[in-house]
Structure 1
């Protein structure tokens, strides 16, 4: 296979590799890319994974593997199978660890986190399967979540709070 040494081609190949099989580490991914003639540094690979929205999820056997959201969707595919539950459990784990308060007003929810955690937490919300979320804006310790429903803020705030006690 001949793949041009462009960022776009490299990232497309990363998506194909991660979607088709179980890639357990960046080293394994770099090796697979190398087999395709794409030599990449760990720093470049790390940036690519962040830009692609890659996450680490457990596959059917319980092994942590990389997964990427499908274009135009919040669905994550690992080895050809969609993994929505992994994203939901990741969000629940972060709510337990980082959510301090959740308050609503109309279609807005304000989430408070420890200092420095808001941007990461907002990214996980954006990648989640919560279709009622239109988007997020994050500062250092505050996230504004905008809901699709003009009056959906209270329900969403309660959902975030319920995730803190989910097993």
Structure 2
């Protein structure tokens, strides 16, 4: 099988590798791509990870790379069942608490996971969430109004199982 040569194909291969096994470093990712017959320089790999929105987050195997999911049709930002499923999975794994206040909800995550979970929330287009701001272990959700904040917090906490 010929190795992908376009940027799009290369990034799809990176996304596939990150979705199928834990990758702790760029060197490990490069080796996994080599196994697929795709040789990538460190600079290109680094740019691809930035383009894909990859983040390092704490996983079962320590800090691993993860990328936000695209819609089932490949269009980023379109809400799909895949987004809802991914949000439920990530909430179970990463959401520690959700506290509503006025038109805001403050979410807590393990260290290093806030930006990734915020990205998943943005992509899932959670009802009444206008946007997210993420730090290291805290996410600030801006909600459509103070009447919606308790419901948004309860919805996200319910996803944790």
> What is the TM-score with the length of structure 2 in the denominator?
0.60
- Out of 108, 111, 114, the position equivalent to 2:107 is 111
1:49 is matched with which residue? 52
1: CA distance, partners of 2:69 / 2:100: 31
Contact 1:55/1:67 (CA < 8 Å) preserved in 2?
A: no
2: CA distance, partners of 1:67 / 1:133: 23
Alpha-carbon RMSD across the aligned residues, in angstroms, is: 3.5
Are residue 156 (structure 1) and residue 152 (structure 2) matched? Answer: yes
1: CA distance, partners of 2:123 / 2:70: 13
The secondary structure found in structure 2 opposite 1:41 is helix
2: CA distance, partners of 1:122 / 1:58: 16
- C-alpha distance after superposition, 1:32-91 (max 9, x if no partner): xxxxxxxx933322222228xx744696xxxxxx9441xxxx316xxxxxxx11111111
Change (3 A) 1:155 1:58: closer
5+ unaligned residues in a row in structure 1: which ranges?
1-9, 32-39, 60-65, 77-83
1:95 is matched with which residue? 91
Are residue 132 (structure 1) and residue 114 (structure 2) matched? Answer: no
State the shift of 1:135 in Å.
Answer: 0.7
Contact 2:92/2:159 (CA < 8 Å) preserved in 1?
A: yes
1: CA distance, partners of 2:71 / 2:144: 30
5+ unaligned residues in a row in structure 2: which ranges?
1-5, 19-32, 38-42, 55-66
State the shift of 1:133 in Å.
Answer: 1.0
Change (3 A) 1:136 1:48: same
